[in-house]
Each structure stands twice: as C-alpha cells, then as structure tokens.
Structure 1
Amino acid sequence: MTELMQAEYVPLFFGALAAFCVTVYVLADGLDLGVGIIFLVAPRDEDRDLMMASIEPVWDGNETWLVMGGTLLIAAFPAGYYILLPAFYLPIMFMLFALIFRGVAFGFRLQATTFRLVWDIAFSAGSIFATFCQGFILGGLINGVPVTEGMFSGGPFSFLSILGVLCGAGLVGGYALLGAGWLIWKTDGATQVFAREIAHAALILTGAMMALVSAWSALTVPEVAARWFAWPNIAFLAPVPLVTLAVILAAWRGIWGRPEARTFILGIALFALGLIGLVVSLWPYVVPRHLTVWDGTSDPQSLAFIAVGLVIILPIVLAYQAHAYWVFRGKTVRLGGGYGGGH
C-alpha cells in the first residue's frame, strides 16, 4: 500500500515542482520583460535610464527559474521532454537567442552614447520577441502536439497557430502590466506617471486576450471545451471568469490609487487565475492528450537523485533572490552620476 501511494504521489510532486519553477519564472522574468516591452514608448531617455536601473539588481537572477524548470523537465519527465523539444524547437531557440540578445543590449546600453538608440531598440525588441515565442509554446500546448507511436510527428512549423498568436499578444499585455506595476511601485515622478498611463493599455490588452484565448480554445479544442462546460465541472469553474473580471476591474480602479504596489499584485493575481485555467485545461498531461505525469516520469533512482539536488539548490536560489529583492527594496532614485535603490 505504501509503495502504491509513493508511485501515485511522487510524479505529482515533481510535476507540481516543475509547474512552480515555470510559474516563478513567468512572474519574476515577466516583470523585467514587461519593462522591456514598454521601454521604447517611454517619453524621455531619463525615464528609460530609471526603468532599466529598477530591474538591474534582479533581472539576471529571474532567468534562473527558466533553467531550473527546463532541467527539471529533462530529469523528471524525459518522455515528455523528447516529445516537446522537437515540437517547439524553433520558438525555444528563438526565445533563448532573444533573451541573450536583450542581455547583451542591457550591458552595452549602459556604456553606449552614440548608438544608445540601437541598444534601446535591441532591448525592447528582444523582450517582445521572447514573449511572443513563449506565447507560441503556450498556444501549442493548448492545441495539442501531434504524436505517433510516442514520437513527435509534426513539422518544424507545427507550433504556428492562431491560438499561439493570441497567447503571444496576451503575454505581451500581461508582462507589460507587470512591468508597469513594478515601475509604479519602484519609481516616482514622471516615470511613475508614464507607468500608470501605460498600465491602462496593458490591462485592456490583457483582459481582451484572456477572453479571446478562452473563447478560441473552447471553440477549436474539444477536450478543453469538455473540461470547462461538462457537468459538474461547469458548476465549480463558473466563478473563475467572474473572479477574473473582478480582478481586472479592481486593477483598473487601482492604477492611480494606493498602495502603489496594488497594480503589480493584481497583475500577479491575473497570472495566477490564468494558470488555474491552464491547469484545468491540460491536467494531468505533460504532453497534452498523450502523456500524463504518471506515464512520463523517470525511474525511482533518478527521481531520488533529483530530490537530493533540489533539497540543496532550491533553498539557495530562493534565499539569493529573496535577499536581492530585500536589499534593493524601496524606490529607485537618481544618485549623482548613477541610479540606486533600497534602504
């Protein structure tokens, strides 16, 4: 009986842990990708300096969670990995190159004078492109991956879909909302006013795309429609869209209000509700409609080895990031020849 329970719950634990890593990445890196998305529409170069300074202490650590989530997928769910990697090879590679490109632009912009505009464009374009690639991956997961005899059977461009475009636009809006919320919280003056103004457009785009993605998924993916509208599921899930609408309205009213962290927190709440919707639509699959968390798990020895590593690494990463956010808490302000934050 004990062995049966272990066989049932161990895959759930590692699946939840992989989902946790991806969720933390989306929220943590989403805020600095969001700052990059709205970077070029900032009215002044001084605003862009302050925007970049606000994320400088934390942005590179945020991407640690992307590496951890990918590594956990390889180690804990290898069957899912060798199906999903070829299915999304192009958007994954383009996303990684875009993240590298924006990282290079981040470093060079600080030193550039003549070609600063070039690096501004590179930083913003890399952020938008990486976000759209994530949208194509998300849309492909919801649509489902073609699999024959346990292997990916589609082509290199199978990830392209209308749903992927809608998800990409939704993530652009959601990340921009997180970025604007972060700037409302972390800056003052003209930069904060700009962030409040752009937050309205980001919230409209986010809300519209959440509605379109939900409707398109229900119309084009029968399995998703069955999850949401079959009885008794619909009785339990009906409050989710209503709660989402309430959060959107609260975020709209709170953009110009206090506390200043409200927009950022409500942006996180919207992503949490989106994650709930995604879990409902895809559970319990690693590869949607083909491979469950129980079917694709590694052998017990590998899982034990992974668990030892996680016990050591995960607290270190969490402590490092918590320390970084704590040290650089407070407003980002101009200090003489540069920028600083924290207390």
Structure 2
Amino acid sequence: MESFDLSVIWALIIGFGVIMYVLMDGFDLGLGILYPFAPNEEARDVMMNSVAPVWDGNETWLVLGGAGLLGAFPLVYSVYLPALYIGVFLMLAGLIFRGIAFEFRFKSRRNRVWWNRAFCWGSAVAAFAQGAVVGAYIEGFPVEDFVFVGGALDWLSPFAVLTGISLMTGYALLGATWLILKSEGEVQRWAYRITPALLLAVLSAFAMISFWTPLVDPAVFERWFNHIHLIWILPTLALACAAWLVMAVYRRQEGQPFIATLGLFIFTYLGLVASKWPVIVPPNYTIWDAASAPESQLFLLIGVLFVIPIVLAYTAWTYWVFRGKVRPGDGYH
C-alpha cells in the first residue's frame, strides 16, 4: 500500500470510531442531561438502569479513536493538545464524574441527590466540551509548522459555545428517543412529550450552525456555494430523518424514533466531514500532511483490523443480552 491509501484508510477508521462513540455514548450523556427534568426518582432509576450495563463499553470507541489518531496522525496532537487542553480536560472530568455516579448512586441512599447531580453535571459538561471542541475544529487553529501559536482559551469562542449547547441538545434528543425504546408507562409517555420540543431545538441549532459555518470558514463557503456538490444531499437526508422522527412519535412507535435520531446524527456528521475533507488541522493541513510513516500506519492497521471486529461483536452481544424494556426495580445493580 502507498502512504496515500493508508492515510485515507486510517481517516476512515478514526471517523468510524468517532461516529460510533457519538451515537453510542450520546444517548447516555443525553439521559444525564435530562435527569433533572425526570418526573420522579423512580423514573431516574429507569433512566440509569437502561444504560448502566452498556455505558462503559460505549466509551471503547473514544479510546479507539484517540489511540488511532495518535498512531496514524501524530502531528495532530502537537496542535490539538495545546489548543484544546482545557476542553479535553473538562470532557474527561465530566466522564469521570458520570462514571462514578453510575456506581455510587445505587449504593448511597442518604447522598443520592448528590450522585444525581454528579451524573447530570458530568454528562452536561462532557457533552458541552465535545461540542465546543467540534466548533473549534470548524473555525480552525492558528498554526505555524504544526505548532499551535494561539491562546489557551481560543477554543471557547461564541461559535464554539453554540456548537457545545447544540450538541447537548442533540444528545438530549438521542436520550429521549432511547428512553422511548427502553421504557414504558409514565416514563415513556414523558419521553414522547419532550421529544418534539427537543427536535425543534436541534433543528434550530442546525439552522444557526449551517448559517454561521460558511462565515467562519471561507473554504466551507467555497465548497458549499461556488461549486455544485452532492454535499447538499446530506442535510436534505438529515431533514428527512427529522420528518420521520415526527411521524414516528405521532404514531407512538417505539423503535423508529431512536433510529430516525441516529440517522439525523449520521447525516449531520457526514455533512461536517464532507465540508472539511481532507483537512484534519484547519485551515490548511490535510491528513497526508499529518500522517505518520507508512510503516507505522501499516503496523498499527494490522492490529486494528483484529480489534474492531472484536469490539463490534462484544457491543452487539451486550445490547442483545440487555435488550427489552427496563421496568422500575429492574437493573443489573
């Protein structure tokens, strides 16, 4: 294989890992964001029990994507770490607080309210940080010879704040539709009620980001408006998924709202990739500029091609074992 081919293959692998993490960890982060608004404590038990058996496995994709990025495109870290250090720290701190809350909430009756808050705030901070990092990526970084020359808080721009809040809203929608799938009775009725409002918020955020993105990145403006591209098919498909979601909720279907929300995320993500490809460190550095030696990429690729099927099989098996509804009093704890 040539370096060109290996770089593209690795970009696809890392992109696959990122979207798998967003989809699979997104709904349990969304449940944490919705936690304070649940009807009662019994509903919170159902919400947490619906994801407790799978949440830690979902984060495998985050590790895979981060490790693959370091191995295949090491020069990216020379920019991303100093540029996004605070944002990444906040994300990891949020994930840690959320993970601890999973284990201690069911064991501490007296302090349960504090573990509820840890689960909520950990989820909210992690989701916001992820969205803000995406916004910083869209805007680009001041870089000279793959060295970040900006400030520690450059990533926290108004546009990044918008993308952070938008991702929180999107995760909340994902969590609500997951709850429709996994719950019943009062909890499911509550999830049905809040889903249309969350979808409206997500579409509003989608519109604002779509309007703002070409203004912060001239290359995106050039790609969107000065040439004819199939890129416009992707937002159209995302809107089709939104319409599908509305109809599925109206008809009180249980599985389709979650699938439609997954589609909404996937097509939005593909739209972002199509807008920036092949740039990996905006505004100027491509995947080939940042790639490691072909020998290193090939060596790592052999290992990853064994690992990914195992992770996929383990994930599928876990979700199969814990399929079905979660009822009050149920749970692996």
TM over 0.5: yes
Q: How far does the alpha carbon of each residue in 1:215-259 deviate from its partner, in whole angstroms, 9 at most, with x for none?
A: 0112232111111111223xx333333333232222122224253
* Between 14-23 and 105-114, the greater mean CA deviation after superposition: 105-114
Please tell me whether residue 272 in structure 1 is matched to residue 272 in structure 2. no
CA distance in 2, matches of 1:150, 1:246: 40
CA distance in 1, matches of 2:301, 2:318: 26
Could you say which residue in structure 2 is the equivalent of 1:103? Answer: 99
Question: Where do 1:87-126 residues align within 5 Å?
Answer: 87-126=83-122
Could you say which residue in structure 1 is the equivalent of 2:255? Answer: 261
Amino acid across the alignment from 2:289: D
SS of structure 2 residue aligned to 1:118: helix
Could you say which residue in structure 1 is the equivalent of 2:162? Answer: 166
Q: Is the 8 A contact 2:6 2:294 kept in 1?
A: no
Please tell me whether residue 217 in structure 1 is matched to residue 213 in structure 2. yes
Could you say which residue in structure 2 is the equivalent of 1:309? Answer: 303
CA distance in 1, matches of 2:228, 2:174: 34
Per-residue deviation, 1:107: 1.1
Could you say which residue in structure 1 is the equivalent of 2:325? Answer: 331
Could you say which residue in structure 2 is the equivalent of 1:239? Answer: 233
SS of structure 2 residue aligned to 1:286: strand
CA distance in 2, matches of 1:171, 1:147: 26
Q: Is the 8 A contact 1:177 1:199 kept in 2?
A: yes
Amino acid across the alignment from 1:195: A
Q: How far does the alpha carbon of each residue in 1:100-130 deviate from its partner, in whole angstroms, 9 at most, with x for none?
A: 0111111111112121111111101110110
Relative to the length of structure 2, the TM-score reads: 0.96
Give the alignment partner of residue 21 of structure 1, picking from 17, 20, 40.
17
Q: Is the 8 A contact 2:234 2:268 kept in 1?
A: no
Q: Is the 8 A contact 1:80 1:291 kept in 2?
A: no
Q: Is the 8 A contact 1:142 1:281 kept in 2?
A: no
Q: How far does the alpha carbon of each residue in 1:191-235 deviate from its partner, in whole angstroms, 9 at most, with x for none?
A: 1011111212211111111110110112232111111111223xx
Question: Where do 1:37-52 residues align within 5 Å?
Answer: 37-52=33-48
Please tell me whether residue 194 in structure 1 is matched to residue 185 in structure 2. no
CA distance in 1, matches of 2:107, 2:290: 48
Could you say which residue in structure 1 is the equivalent of 2:5? Answer: 9
SS of structure 1 residue aligned to 2:289: coil
Give the alignment partner of residue 72 of structure 1, picking from 63, 68, 74.
68
Q: How far does the alpha carbon of each residue in 1:57-81 deviate from its partner, in whole angstroms, 9 at most, with x for none?
A: 1001101111110010100000112
Q: Percent identity?
A: 43
Please tell me whether residue 130 in structure 1 is matched to residue 126 in structure 2. yes
The 1:240/1:320 distance shift into structure 2, 3 A limit, reads closer
Amino acid across the alignment from 2:269: L
SS of structure 2 residue aligned to 1:295: helix
Q: How far does the alpha carbon of each residue in 1:152-171 deviate from its partner, in whole angstroms, 9 at most, with x for none?
A: 11110010111111111211
Amino acid across the alignment from 1:196: Y
Relative to the length of structure 1, the TM-score reads: 0.93
* Between 242-251 and 121-130, the greater mean CA deviation after superposition: 242-251
Amino acid across the alignment from 2:208: L
Give the alignment partner of residue 139 of structure 2, picking from 119, 133, 143.
143
Q: Is the 8 A contact 1:136 1:168 kept in 2?
A: yes
Could you say which residue in structure 2 is the equivalent of 1:206? Answer: 202
Q: Is the 8 A contact 2:34 2:120 kept in 1?
A: yes
Amino acid across the alignment from 1:74: L
Could you say which residue in structure 2 is the equivalent of 1:86? Answer: 82
The 1:62/1:90 distance shift into structure 2, 3 A limit, reads same
Amino acid across the alignment from 2:307: I
SS of structure 2 residue aligned to 1:339: coil
Q: Is there any run of 5+ residues in structure 1 with no aligned partner, and where?
A: none
The 1:302/1:239 distance shift into structure 2, 3 A limit, reads closer
- CA-atom RMSD in angstroms: 1.4
Amino acid across the alignment from 2:4: E
